[in-house]
């Protein structure tokens, strides 16, 4: 029975995400609240995951993205990208260079691989 409730809450949350009328954080908190009220998630453990480094990292990225959008940096990048010739290969090369440069940097949240020796 618990699996059906969790599955139903997940389907409802996904439907609300796709619908887009409510913000994603409100939908996530409502889903957690429903699972807590029903008793699937223990009350004492309901909000323990909020302090997890992955959650904090996602929140920081969302805040940074919004700040970049509001400050106009996204518009500057879009204008620069629009000046690239409309050849598909040139645009792919530009985006690949930006992406490779960004993802090649070390991430603080990614653990270093351990030696098997």
| pLDDT tens-digit readout, 13-56 | 999 999 989 988 899 999 999 999 999 999 888 888 888 888 88
∠ CA 92-66-20, nearest 5°, is 90
Q: Where do the domains of the chain lie?
A: 1-47, 52-107
| Helix 88-103 / helix 73-82 crossing angle, nearest 10 deg | 140
- 42 phi/psi in degrees, rounded to 5: -60, 140
**Mean residue pLDDT across the chain:** 83
- Residue 41 CB: number of other CB atoms within 10 A? 19
| pTM value surpassing 0.85 | no
pLDDT bracket for residue 114 (50, 70, 90): low
């Amino acid at each position: 029975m618990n699996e059906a409730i969790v599955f139903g809450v997940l389907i409802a949350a996904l439907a609300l995400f796709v619908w887009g009328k409510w913000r994603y954080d409100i939908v996530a908190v409502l889903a957690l609240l429903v699972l807590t009220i029903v008793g699937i998630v223990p009350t004492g453990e309901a909000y323990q995951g909020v302090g997890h480094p992955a959650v904090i990292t996602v929140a920081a990225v969302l805040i940074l993205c919004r700040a970049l959008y509001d400050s106009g940096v996204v518009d500057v990048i879009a204008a620069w990208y629009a000046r690239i010739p409309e050849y598909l290969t040139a645009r792919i090369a530009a985006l690949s260079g930006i992406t490779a440069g960004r993802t090649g940097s070390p991430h603080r949240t990614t653990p270093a691989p351990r030696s098997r020796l």
